[in-house]
Amino acid sequence: MKHIISSLILISALAFILRVWGVDFGLPYTFHADETHTINLSASLGYNFLNPKIFWKPALVYYLIALGYGIYFVIGRCIGLFPSLDNFIRLFILNPTPFYLIARIIIGVIFGTISIPVIYMIGMRLCSERTGLIAALFLAVSFIHVQNSHYAAHDIPVLFFIVITVLFSLDIFLKGRPVDYVKSGIALGLAVATKYNAALAFVSILAAHMLFLKKDKPDNL
């Protein structure tokens, strides 16, 4: 068991290094179509009373980034980096690089890294611990996943919530407890709050429920 935990920690560390290395790509210029919109909308929540006002994409990502900006401002104010809110706003206008880095770390690096142990748990429950480690390693070094973890976009966090939904759906199939349905529903809700088309992940919950019911029935019924 210690060997498995050590291997998973090493794989997760590798995933983190690959995602944090190059997270400043392109800055202060941006090369992702959605990043500028995401950053500006997240920053606007502070003076729009937490109302994004635009809902063609769900708002969870914007709130998470805005939370990071709030923490950045509080820490900066405590150490004298921002004597006032005006200084904070001026920095965002004149040098938005720190704001892009904060958003990329929260949305890309963190969510990309914590997806690794979730993939491991899915593989472990479906097959074996070795399968889980192989699946985690594949995701850790996946070029597309690493690349998208360098951006403040919706793709990496929505994938995290989808795989969490799948993981809890496995609990429905294996145990069928009410708490498993609640966990799956919360995970699915967070996925949809990240990207609307994640609602399709409901199929995993439905399939797990149907298979659980069928598992308890005699074959001749």
| Each residue's pLDDT tens digit, 81-91 | 888 888 888 88
CA-closest candidate to residue 42, choices 152, 166, 117? 152
Apex CA 106: angle with CA 101 and CA 110, to 5°? Answer: 120
Tell me the pLDDT band of 221, cut-offs 50, 70 and 90.
very low
- Whether the CB-CB separation of 120 and 133 falls below 8 Å is answered with yes
Separation between Cα atoms, residue 187 and residue 201, nearest integer Å: 10
- Residue 144: CA count within 13 A, CB half-sphere: 2
* Mean pLDDT, range 15-32, rounded to an integer: 87
Count of CB atoms within 10 A of residue 49's CB? 6
| Terminal alpha carbon distance of the chain | 41
Task: Kindly state the greatest CA–CA separation across the chain.
Answer: 75
Separation between Cα atoms, residue 201 and residue 194, nearest integer Å: 13
Tell me the pLDDT band of 220, cut-offs 50, 70 and 90.
very low
pTM of the model: 0.88
Apex CA 89: angle with CA 79 and CA 40, to 5°? Answer: 120
Both tokens of residue 102? 């904060």
In this model, does residue 58 exceed pLDDT 80? Answer: yes
